[in-house]
Amino acid sequence: MQLILTIAIAATLLTSLILIIRFRNMRLNGSDPVPLLTFIAILFTSGLDVGLIMFPLTEFPTYASEAPYQFTNPLAIEFGFWGFLVWGFYFLTTFYFCVVEPKLKLFQISWVKWLNTAVIIATCAFTGFLFLSYLPDYISGISPVLRYGLVAFVVLLAVLSSTDIKYVKWLSLGSTALFFALIAGLWAKSGMGVGGLAETGSNIGGYFGNIHKFISPLTDYHAFYLFWWFAWSIMIGQFVARFVGGLKTWQLCLALLTLPSIPIALWFSVLYYYHSNGISLTPLINGAMVTVGVIFVINSLDSLIRLYSENFNLTVGRLGGPQYIALHAGLLYGLILLYQFTPFKIEWVGLVVIGLYVAIYTLTFKNRKALKT
């Protein structure tokens, strides 16, 4: 599996490089273009979930102690799992859905459409299942009733948000602002100051000095992350492509690699300072982190619900508001509960998506003449 993953990553990076060179000045436009900052906010909050908020403090000790990660510091490792290069997956798929799909309509082919939609539904429900599974770690002492009730509430809010495209714009901008406020709050509480932030953040340089090592899995845990990025790559590209507003190809790539990575770098640097200096989180801080993380989950589920409902034509326009909400909330929450009784792994979805990449590459090559028209 790791060999397949390494080959797939190398192929996507090479393809992205070719696109940047060949089509660097092509302007890309989606069906619902928005300003750059709004686009990045939608991308950032749709492509990430509560793990970004809660995982680092539990992962820093692992990266500090296990042998495969000793070539650099834990902050650089954490950033490598979440930042910069991995966002190149989204560049490739966003470019595809802006430029190639409108001409070839490969995702309208029956088997491609059904497979892609199945991946979206599976990943959507699995995201909710992971949230359900980790809630006791996020909220200490949470009761089973509150745990299942909170997940049901999050699913309902995500379905409600997906009923109108304007909600995702407001929610994305709002949750991005809350995330920056969370960063500022933890930074001020830590007493690290600007100098401490700069000194701690400089550790991220260990990632860029070893960036080639992140192209292939360092461990099985790193492979899990990479499969996760692959699993999300097509559907996030399909979703956010509609919001691209006239960026050139090279500008889109630069924006995707750098702009989401800035808040990630700031957040991880602040958390790493807490970790390095043994600063404990107060209940208020932990509650704020969980709240922002929950909003990120709502954003992620919103984008995926919107995609599969459109693919299956189970939209508000066709079903009506009450029926739409009841159907999708019931379907998604039911699948989340069912996942507790399955051995489902995101790696399986990642492999299916890699296979879908191969099929799309092949179909695009066969229909390449149509791209010139």
Report pLDDT for 138.
Answer: 85
Query: pLDDT band at residue 165, thresholds of 50, 70 and 90?
Result: confident
pLDDT of 171: 84
- When mean pLDDT is compared over 115-124, 132-141, 205-214, 339-348, the highest value belongs to 205-214
Long-range contacts of 338-343 (CB under 8 A, 24+ apart): 338/125, 339/125, 339/126, 339/129, 340/129, 340/132
Question: Which residues lie closer than 8 Å to 372 by C-beta, 6 or more apart?
Answer: none
Q: Which residues on adjacent β-strands are paired with residue 27?
A: 248
For position 365, what pLDDT does the model report? 87
- The rounded percent of the chain whose pLDDT value lies above 70 is 99
What's the pLDDT at 83?
Answer: 92
Question: Greater confidence, 228 or 168?
Answer: 228
- The pLDDT value recorded for residue 324 is 93
The closest of 19, 260, 349 to 11, measured between CA atoms, is: 19
The Cα–Cα gap between 266 and 90 comes to 21
CB 237 within 8 A of CB 90: yes
Average pLDDT in the 124-136 region? Answer: 87
Mean pLDDT on 199-215: 95
pLDDT at position 340: 80
Is pLDDT at 322 greater than 70 in this prediction?
yes
Domains and CATH numbers, the chain: 2-372 (1.20.1740)
What is the CA angle 210-226-77, rounded to 5?
35
Q: Residue 25 region, left (φ>0) first, then alpha (ψ -120 to 50), else beta? A: alpha
Banded pLDDT at 373 (limits 50, 70, 90): low
pLDDT at 247: 94
Of 94-98, 237-241, 341-345, give the range with the top mean pLDDT. Answer: 94-98
Token pair, residue 67, equals 């042998």
User: What pLDDT digit, counting tens, does each position of 54-86 carry?
Assistant: 899 999 999 999 999 999 999 999 999 999 999
Which pLDDT value is given to residue 314?
Answer: 87
The answer to whether residue 366 scores a pLDDT higher than 90 is no
Residue with tokens 């692959």: 230
Higher model confidence: residue 270 or residue 168? 270
> Is the pLDDT confidence value at 320 over 80?
yes
- When pLDDT is cut at 50, 70 and 90, the band that residue 360 belongs to is very high
Average pLDDT score over residue span 262-273: 96
Return mean pLDDT, the chain.
91
Percent of the chain whose predicted confidence (pLDDT) is above 90: 62
Residue-level pLDDT at 17? 94
Lowest mean pLDDT among 44-53, 221-230, 355-364: 44-53
